[in-house]
Structure 1
Amino acid sequence: MVRIRIDRSKCIGCLTCVTACVVSHESDDARNRVVIDSEIKAAPIFCRHCELPECTYTCMTGAMHKNPITGFVEYDKEQCASCYMCIMACPYGVLKSDKINHKEIMKCNMCVHRTDDGSPKPMCVEKCPMQAITLVEVEK
C-alpha cells in the first residue's frame, strides 16, 4: 500500500500542492490544504486514509468506504446523502464540502483518475518544489 508522506521541515507553505489538486481534479476547490500551526509553521493537510476511518463508520449510505485492496478511503458522490456526518467524524478535520454547490465531499483520492489502471499518481507529489510531499510504501 502507498500513502502520502509529508516532511513538514521541507514545506515552505507555497500552496503548489493545493493548486496541483485543483488542476488535477479540474475543480474550483482543493481536496487538501495548508494551514499554519501553533509554531507558525506551514502544515499541509491531506486525507490520511485511516486504518479505522471514522468517516466510513458514520456514513449511513456507504458513499464513504474503505477499499480492501488499496486501503484507500473512497467516496462515491452518487451514493452520498449530503448529511456531512463524515465531515463531523473526521478527527483530523480533513473532509469538507465543496464550496460552490455544497453537495460533494472533497477528499483526496490519490489522483487515481490520472492513470488507466487506477493506481495512485498524486499531482501534489509531482509538483511539490521542495519534495516535502512524497509517496511511500507502507505495510498493511
Structure 2
Amino acid sequence: MSDSILNESERMIAMIIGHLADGGVTRQTFSVRELGYEANDDSHRLFRDAVLWLGYEGIIASGYTERKNQFSQKDNTIFARSFFLTSKGFKLLSEKFDGELTLGAAVKEANSNGTGYANAGTFFGGILGGFTKSISG
C-alpha cells in the first residue's frame, strides 16, 4: 500500500470517527459530503470501505443489521445509514496519545482551529493501529 493511500485511509477514518463522535450515541446517516469530500467514485469507494472496516473492527455499528441496508444512494451520493460509535469507538476517543491529551480532545481542537480533521488523521492512524492490535490479540 502506498503512503498516499494509507494517509488518505487514515484521514477518512479520522473524519468518520470525528463525525460520529459529534453525535454521541445518536444514529446518523451521512455521506462523503459531510466529511468534506466531493462525491465521486474514488471518495465513495474509500468511504464505503472505511465504514465497513470500522464496522468489522467493532468501532462503529449501524442500526441496520443487514449490510445491504447500511448504505443507500441518492443524487449520485452514497450514504452510510444509521451509524453510531460503539463502546470500543468511545474507548478509542479516550485513548491518550500526547501526554494527557486524548484523541477526542485533539479532534475538537483541530476543528476549533479550523484545520478540520486533516491533522488528526495521523493521530487516528497511529492510535487506531495500536488499538486494533490490542482488541484483536
TM-score range, shorter chain: under 0.3
Normalising to structure 1: TM-score of the pair?
Answer: 0.27
Normalising to structure 2: TM-score of the pair?
Answer: 0.27
